[in-house]
Amino acid sequence: MSDDVVCQIVRGDLEAAVVLRTENLIGFLDHRPVFKGHVLVSPIRHVDTLLDLPSELMTPLLTAGQRVAAALVEALGCQGTFVAINNVVSQSVRHLHLHVVPRTKGDGLRGFFWPRTRYADGEMAAYAERIRSALAG
């Protein structure tokens, strides 16, 4: 493991609002979301970029992203999602992560400008619980 933020979350050294954890993947709320409910899905094993992702993790990563996207619609009532991977350029954490961002028509997101917001006290935990419930159901 590396010492990046994702590896720290995986080890339990850094607190995160985890919504999904499997043998190979972890999903948690972005602490500076584009929109509230923005989830990052990452391999547990350290992988720098998409180019480094082993083929045996490709399907599980995309399947987890698909499950999270469906859960966001159910849990948050959004109309859809934006799913993206930054690869080196704009990759603020050098650990592969798939962004799953809740979207609603007219939400103001334009192009690749990603404005960030913050959660109010206690709000992140409430969002995480709603998403975990949708994933479990």
In tens, the pLDDT along 12-23 reads: 999 999 999 999
Task: Return the number of other C-beta atoms located less than 10 Å from residue 90's C-beta.
Answer: 9
C-alpha dist (Å) from residue 50 to 21, 28, 54, 91: 20, 19, 9, 11
At the topology level of CATH, where does 5-136 sit? HIT family, subunit A (3.30.428)
In tens, the pLDDT along 112-136 reads: 667 778 999 999 999 999 999 999 9
In tens, the pLDDT along 64-105 reads: 999 999 999 999 999 999 999 887 666 578 799 999 999 999
**Annotated catalytic residue, options 31, 46, 95, 97:** 97
Report which of 134, 45, 43 is spatially closest to residue 97, judged by C-alpha positions.
43
Q: Has 97 been annotated as catalytic?
A: yes
Whole-structure pTM value: 0.88
| Spans of all domains in the chain | 5-136
User: CA-to-CA distance for 21 and 24, rounded, in angstroms?
Assistant: 8
